[in-house]
């Protein structure tokens, strides 16, 4: 009898333990489009000279496809442990996109938090300053692929991060601060810092982001307003020495976006303008995207867009951050799971 009770008790404990740790979600996104692209590349003209060549190609474009796992364990007393790991891959070839960051290069973190005291995060993850500003207003394709924001100055480092996210301080307001450890005694290495604030009040959504990496720094403010079928958003960013190195100067970057929904249809317009970097001529650029999304379900949509980088500085922005694509017409499908 005692042996039976002991076995039953152990089985109950084991079952409870499994259930307590089984809150795991598998999620992901596959996003691919067929595109007619104008690509630019830097070419060596000999004797130290550099030039730019242009070509038109058809491409099957991957746009930040990924698979991830996340979960939490309730530790009691309002305390929870959690994790999130995310792997990026090219849906057109199946190849991993983590590069030097590795298989879980998109995200790899463990966290500990409570609704009363906030959350501590450790690992590799994207700056919340970016999510609070540029990402929030890129509604047409979630700031991915060839129509991604090519003008935003992202200067943070995602690896070796320690972050603290506050609970909701007042209704709708939360803050997060983080720093990336340099993990080296070599001269010239440095920590990076980022800070974000988000405020939501019904249809109004506000955000602020700040990053500092050695001599470079940037800050941005964002607003988005929902008005029935219309959504309007935008941000203003001011960065210093973020693009062309130390003492290159400051720059102002402005982006506006709009969306109109009609049933399953979404109509998008997104325009950004980057001003001159310091006193350097030929560094201004404009990016414009017009798009249409049709939602086949809550998880699947087909879409089309045309995006273009223009202005004297367009070639530089394209080769630095946009995969060398200066403009593109795309037809695609995106599925979330």
Mean pLDDT of the chain: 92
What local confidence, expressed as pLDDT, does residue 20 receive?
52
Instruction: Look at residue 50 and tell me whether its pLDDT is greater than 80.
Output: no
Counted domains in the chain: 1
What local confidence, expressed as pLDDT, does residue 276 receive?
97
Q: What value does the mean pLDDT take over residues 86-112?
A: 96
Q: Rounded to the nearest 5°, which phi and psi values hold at 243?
A: -110, -45
Residue 189 lies in a domain: yes
Instruction: Look at residue 53 and tell me whether its pLDDT is greater than 70.
Output: yes
Contact present, 162 and 122 (Cβ < 8 Å): yes
Question: What distance in Å separates the CA atoms of residue 243 and residue 248, rounded to the nearest whole number?
Answer: 8
pLDDT of 139-193, one tens digit each? Answer: 999 999 999 999 999 999 999 999 999 999 999 999 999 999 999 888 878 999 9
Residue 193 lies in a domain: yes
Q: Which of 16-20, 32-36, 65-69, 87-91 has the lowest mean pLDDT?
A: 16-20
Residue 9 lies in a domain: no
Q: What value does the mean pLDDT take over residues 301-327?
A: 95
pLDDT of 259-275, one tens digit each? Answer: 999 999 999 999 999 99
Residue 1 lies in a domain: no
Residue 17 lies in a domain: no
Instruction: Look at residue 7 and tell me whether its pLDDT is greater than 50.
Output: no
Residue 96: closest CA among 59, 132, 67, 134: 67
Domain, as residue range, for 244: 25-336
CATH, residue 222: 2.40.160.10
Contact present, 139 and 111 (Cβ < 8 Å): no
What local confidence, expressed as pLDDT, does residue 255 receive?
98
Is-above-0.95 flag for pTM? no
**Residue the block writes with tokens 């007619």:** 36
Instruction: Look at residue 73 and tell me whether its pLDDT is greater than 80.
Output: yes
DSSP state of 169: S
Residue 266 lies in a domain: yes
What local confidence, expressed as pLDDT, does residue 22 receive?
60
Q: What value does the mean pLDDT take over residues 190-208?
A: 97
Pairing label, strands 230-240, 250-262: antiparallel
Count of all residues that appear for the chain in the document: 337
Name the pLDDT band for 41 (thresholds 50, 70, 90): confident
Residue 62 lies in a domain: yes
Question: What distance in Å separates the CA atoms of residue 53 and residue 200, rounded to the nearest whole number?
Answer: 46
Question: What distance in Å separates the CA atoms of residue 97 and residue 264, rounded to the nearest whole number?
Answer: 32
Report, in angstroms and rounded to the nearest whole number, the Rg of the chain calculated over CA atoms.
Answer: 23
Residue 306 lies in a domain: yes
- Paired tokens of 212: 């500092």
Q: Which of 18-32, 198-212, 291-305, 306-320 has the lowest mean pLDDT?
A: 18-32
Instruction: Look at residue 199 and tell me whether its pLDDT is greater than 50.
Output: yes
């Amino acid at each position: 009898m005692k042996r039976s009770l002991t076995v039953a008790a152990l089985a109950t404990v084991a079952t409870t333990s499994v259930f307590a740790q089984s809150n795991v979600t598998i999620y992901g996104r596959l996003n691919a489009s067929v595109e007619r692209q104008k690509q630019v590349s830097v070419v060596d003209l000999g004797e130290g000279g550099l030039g730019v060549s242009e070509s038109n190609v058809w491409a099957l474009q991957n746009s930040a496809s990924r698979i991830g796992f996340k979960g939490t364990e309730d530790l009691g007393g309002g305390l929870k442990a959690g994790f999130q790991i995310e792997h990026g891959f090219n849906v057109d070839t199946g190849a991993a996109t983590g590069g030097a960051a590795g298989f879980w290069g998109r995200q790899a973190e463990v966290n500990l938090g409570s609704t009363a005291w906030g959350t501590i995060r450790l690992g590799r993850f994207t700056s919340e300053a970016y999510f609070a500003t540029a990402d929030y207003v890129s509604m047409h394709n979630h700031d991915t692929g060839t129509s991604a924001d090519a003008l935003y100055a992202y200067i943070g480092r995602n690896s070796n991060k320690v972050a603290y996210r506050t609970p909701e301080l007042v209704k709708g307001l939360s803050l997060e601060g983080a720093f990336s450890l340099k993990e080296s005694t070599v001269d010239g290495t440095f920590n990076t810092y980022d800070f974000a604030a988000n405020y939501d009040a019904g249809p109004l959504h506000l955000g602020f982001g700040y990053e500092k990496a050695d001599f470079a720094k940037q800050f941005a403010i964002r607003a988005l307003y929902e008005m029935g079928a219309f959504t309007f958003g935008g941000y203003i960013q001011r960065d210093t020495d973020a693009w062309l190195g130390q003492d290159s100067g400051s720059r102002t970057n402005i982006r506006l976006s709009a969306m109109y929904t009609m049933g399953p249809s979404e109509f998008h317009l997104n325009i950004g303008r980057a001003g001159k970097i310091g006193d350097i001529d030929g560094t201004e650029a404009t990016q414009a995207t017009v798009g249409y999304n049709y939602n086949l379900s809550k998880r699947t949509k087909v879409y089309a867009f045309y995006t273009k980088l223009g202005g004297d500085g367009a070639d530089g922005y394209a080769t630095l951050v946009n995969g060398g694509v200066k403009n593109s017409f795309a037809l695609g499908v995106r599925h979330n799971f």
